[in-house]
Structure 1
């Protein structure tokens, strides 16, 4: 959940800036606005971000909370291009010659032309995936030692004066080098993100927006997509995805292996067979851990130097593996000839997707990013417990700010009106129940963790694999660091909760997560860092967020 829980044992802030009501108000405002940002189906960003060389890049991007994105990129006098990000189905770019001369490898402009090209997600020198709404929301919040914990007093943001931003009144919330402008009319909404640039340009890719390395500044206006704007984004995504049938894969280097085999040949026909290898040149196997690679093979056959057949089969192989392609030509030769020469030449180019892949993606996008509908059911009865209830702890008011989407999920899971916490010993829990005579303490993890944890996955052997385990690039390091920080904060929270549960005979902790992948990653991470006894006290349960749940009245 976005927001923080203040454990009962956390020391009180000293007098001074740490308990400044303006800084506490700034944090509460930022939590609420970050929750609205993460929960919207998609956001529209316009402005500038730093490029690889430290110079400003103009960006106009529509990005969904599921990771899909459609963007235009302007390198000013250095080219113009388009980006299509399909989440786990890859990132694609196309642009003019100047664009590829700036963003691509040597010879890219001639090799790619105006085709869509599958590229590394940060190939243009900045990480547009850092603008996926849940990722941006998490990055804008100041760090805390525990997940759902309050930041240290000195890390609370500062509240600035009101100003007019985009024609509306907004307040500035400043955390480190980042300033977030939040509209004050209606629900808190982030309308602009600014990150000051300073010092020389970084040596590697620059990232936006929060805690970016030194270099050019970031200045992005932000607006949620809804209604016609959201529908137009979905339609544009499907249209662009439908153009990917001929997309080139810059992450694969196909090559012809050995000699082309010509034969067997008959008086009027001959066959050529080619072996092709597909070397994956993407920096990290983590990005596509098990995806096959495709190559279009062009086989040109001649008889006595006369062209007779050109075949263009597409072959599929595992990354680093091989496949064979064949071409059979028929022809006529003078019957007086005792022999004749049949030759074959071949070349291969990478293909990002097969037609079936393209259709699957187009079909998937048809139901992507649904716009929330008003709840059609009556609000459920919700408890408002107080004092001791069914256990050794007691209910008390929650003193932490929580974003509305997180509060709704907590109410869905616990059946308790948000604003109450169950305190057991030195820690607070979202709720509790008594089952089979035993006490079950509840910890709810709503939507919004999946993308911040994108830098980690559960490997085939059940162990966790981080992005930078196989990739030393700055992009992999940033995502892995974010995942480690997020997992570490959750683990510290769960460890503290288990410590309290351990003291109650028969009690157990139930972790309920809205996202299955997040639950899997939390379970495997906890298995590796907790004792077997503590791990056995935790139940893991997936419960998807109910979009029709209206919350407590």
Structure 2
């Protein structure tokens, strides 16, 4: 078998004999094609890398955290301050209260989220009232000048003296106990959940030597530091709030308990009483006998009037004392004093028996004073204990949402 063998040309490249009609080998063209492809690969790689970089940058631009606007940042800080107040077991407020008539008073009050308030209202030098609110009732006490500044007449202030009185919760027409409850105040600082009310960055104030910007929502301006309210103002109040720890609130309740227990003798100004001596009751047959009819009328701070209907009054307690003076000398008669429970709207009879010797003359002075009484004071002690538990629970279980329907996390 004969095989044709390629003959090398002078250049060293293999070829077939042209006479045999066989095509010349194409190796030089193949080398050129491979060389062209090798030159294109770096450019393809570069284009892929550039495409990947562009895609990564685009994704970062889309997904990166967007810088907050000043208003959005203020809203977030305000929300933190609101939740701090809502979750606080108690707050200590100092500051100033302004009334509609231009009067003002200094405040130094501790207020718990259990609804108990205690502290002082200062109308000026020597005009300080103590203020206690528990179980929905408010009690104040002070000297004559303080009572006059608080709104009593000079005559009434003289009669009251240093007595503890059940009084309306308002001070200069502001219900401070309700307004300063930490949860209530916290919800007033800013818009509620889902509300788009504007939050305005206001003028700065100097607090502890540092300039702090104010954030205004509605009528309230809050000065914030690290998401905490350092100063709160509205048309009536200018306050510095200081959070109370759970231990401080627990101690606060313990210290208040004896004071609340003693409220049975506090004056009840929601009741009015009058007295009428029975004719000839001071005449003596074997012994002397004094008989007095006491009439009571409710005088509640808040009333609901229904035309044609006179609501009955709850029972009240009246402290009384009959001072018997015989021939100008006051004779001790402990049996002629005490407490009387009677209808809040109705009458009751007081009687006092005493001896009178021949030729002696007697005169009776009667003092009547509606008081809270033991039963109602015990109810306030129970309310205080309930509030203490609520404050303790608030310290353990906190809210993370401003929604009033939210439940705390424990």
Task: Give me the whole-angstrom Cα distance separating, in 2, the residues matched to 1:55 and 1:445.
Answer: 39
What displacement does 1:119 show? 1.0
Residue 352 of structure 2 corresponds to 327
Q: 1:183 to 1:350 in 2, by over 3 A?
A: same
Question: Does residue 296 of structure 1 match 2:335?
Answer: no
Task: Give me the whole-angstrom Cα distance separating, in 2, the residues matched to 1:79 and 1:65.
Answer: 28
Deviations 1:385-412 (A, max 9, x none): xxxxxxxxxxxxxxxxxxx61649x9xx
Question: Does residue 349 of structure 1 match 2:394?
Answer: no
Question: Does residue 140 of structure 1 match 2:161?
Answer: no
What displacement does 1:274 show? 2.2
- Partner of 2:120, secondary structure, is strand
Larger helix fraction of residues: 2
What displacement does 1:43 show? 0.9
Q: Aligned Cα RMSD in Å?
A: 3.7
- Partner of 1:358, secondary structure, is helix
* Count of matched residue positions in the alignment of Structure 1 and Structure 2: 331
- Partner of 1:405, secondary structure, is coil
Residue 191 of structure 1 corresponds to 230
- Partner of 2:392, secondary structure, is coil
Instruction: Return 5+ residue gaps in structure 2 as ranges.
Output: 1-67, 305-310
Question: Does residue 112 of structure 1 match 2:131?
Answer: no
Residue 392 of structure 2 corresponds to 371
| Residues 98 and 105, structure 2, Cα contact 8 Å, conserved in 1 | yes
Q: 1:261 to 1:285 in 2, by over 3 A?
A: farther
Q: 1:137 to 1:345 in 2, by over 3 A?
A: same
| Residues 246 and 395, structure 2, Cα contact 8 Å, conserved in 1 | no
| Residues 89 and 395, structure 2, Cα contact 8 Å, conserved in 1 | no
Runs of 4+ in structure 1 displaced over 6 angstroms? Answer: 161-164, 302-306, 340-343, 373-376
What displacement does 1:170 show? 5.7
- Partner of 1:59, secondary structure, is strand
Instruction: Return 5+ residue gaps in structure 1 as ranges.
Output: 1-19, 198-207, 209-217, 377-403, 411-443, 447-544
Question: Does residue 83 of structure 1 match 2:128?
Answer: no
What displacement does 1:194 show? 1.6
What displacement does 1:81 show? 1.6
- Partner of 2:174, secondary structure, is coil
What displacement does 1:134 show? 2.3
Question: Does residue 219 of structure 1 match 2:268?
Answer: no
Question: Does residue 92 of structure 1 match 2:139?
Answer: yes
Deviations 1:243-301 (A, max 9, x none): 4343222333211146367399752x444332222223333136x99654332222345
Of 264, 267, 270, which aligns to 1:248? 267
| Residues 80 and 99, structure 1, Cα contact 8 Å, conserved in 2 | yes
Question: Does residue 103 of structure 1 match 2:150?
Answer: yes
Q: Which has the larger radius of gyration?
A: 2
Task: Give me the whole-angstrom Cα distance separating, in 1, the residues matched to 2:69 and 2:276.
Answer: 70
Q: 1:374 to 1:362 in 2, by over 3 A?
A: closer
What displacement does 1:83 show? 0.7
